[in-house]
């Protein structure tokens, strides 16, 4: 037994390389443990920072969302006010659109009143006719200045965009077939747009 113990001691003493290797392995394990501990500590230290950055990003997004919502509400309110204002202005414009025309027609109304008074005591029919004709020409002149034009329909080809066919009769001549023979009601254009179709009789 003593001999075996001595041999073991001798082997240990004779193999210093083994002891050095054992010490190196022990040191490496210690270093690894220290590194792992350091990593764990580092991860623990960095996690609050990550949480703070996430919180700050959420706050930024919430702030941006609130800002966009406010901008949308302001734009919607402005557009709503614009719609109300324009509709009110359009209504007012329609109400006073005919002001100039009516003002000019008041003189014609005055002429008609004077003609009516003169007719009551008039004995000369020719003079009365001339007075009425003058008033009619004045009225037409005012309306022409405002862009009103009479349609010339008799003898023209029937056009559904301008004429309203009331009836058709046999054409007195071959060249009048499909054309307007007579006019029951005049058609009118205002600034080259139809405001009243001419009611006509068509040759068949």
How far from chain centre, in Å, is Cα 181? Answer: 48
Confidence grade of residue 77 (pLDDT, cut at 50, 70, 90): very high
pLDDT at 84: 92
CB contact burial 72-111 (16+ within 10 A = b; e otherwise): eeeeeeeeeeeeeeeeeeeeeeeeeeeeeeeebbeebeeb
For 121-153, write each residue's pLDDT tens digit.
Answer: 878 888 888 888 999 999 999 999 988 999 998
Q: Is residue 200 within 8 Å of 183, Cβ to Cβ?
A: yes
Q: Is residue 183 within 8 Å of 153, Cβ to Cβ?
A: yes
What pTM value is reported for the model?
A: 0.51
Asked if residue 188 has pLDDT above 60, the reply is yes
Confidence grade of residue 172 (pLDDT, cut at 50, 70, 90): confident
C-alpha to C-alpha distances, 143 to 39, 94, 108, nearest whole angstrom: 96, 19, 11
Q: Is residue 201 within 8 Å of 154, Cβ to Cβ?
A: no
CA–CA separation, 111 vs 105, rounded Å?
10
CA–CA separation, 1 vs 7, rounded Å?
10
Of 131, 132, 153, 149, the C-alpha closest to 140 is: 149
């Amino acid at each position: 037994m003593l001999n075996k113990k001595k041999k073991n001691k001798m082997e240990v003493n004779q193999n210093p390389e083994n002891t050095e290797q054992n010490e190196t392995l022990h040191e490496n394990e210690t270093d690894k443990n220290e590194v792992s501990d350091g990593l764990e500590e580092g991860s623990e230290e960095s996690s609050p920072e990550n949480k703070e950055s996430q919180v700050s990003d959420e706050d930024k997004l919430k702030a941006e969302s609130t800002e966009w919502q406010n901008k949308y509400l302001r734009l919607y309110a402005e557009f709503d006010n614009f719609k109300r204002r324009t509709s009110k202005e359009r209504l007012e414009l329609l109400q006073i659109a005919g002001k100039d025309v009516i003002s000019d027609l008041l003189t014609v109304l005055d002429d008609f009143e004077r003609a009516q008074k003169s007719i009551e005591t008039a004995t000369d029919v020719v003079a009365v006719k001339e007075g009425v004709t003058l008033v009619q020409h004045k009225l037409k002149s005012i309306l022409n200045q405002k862009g009103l034009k009479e349609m010339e329909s008799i003898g023209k080809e029937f056009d559904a965009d301008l004429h309203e066919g009331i009836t058709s009769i046999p054409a007195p001549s071959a060249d009048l077939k499909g054309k307007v023979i007579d006019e029951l009601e005049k058609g009118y254009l205002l600034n080259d747009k139809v405001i009243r179709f001419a009611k006509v009789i068509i040759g068949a």
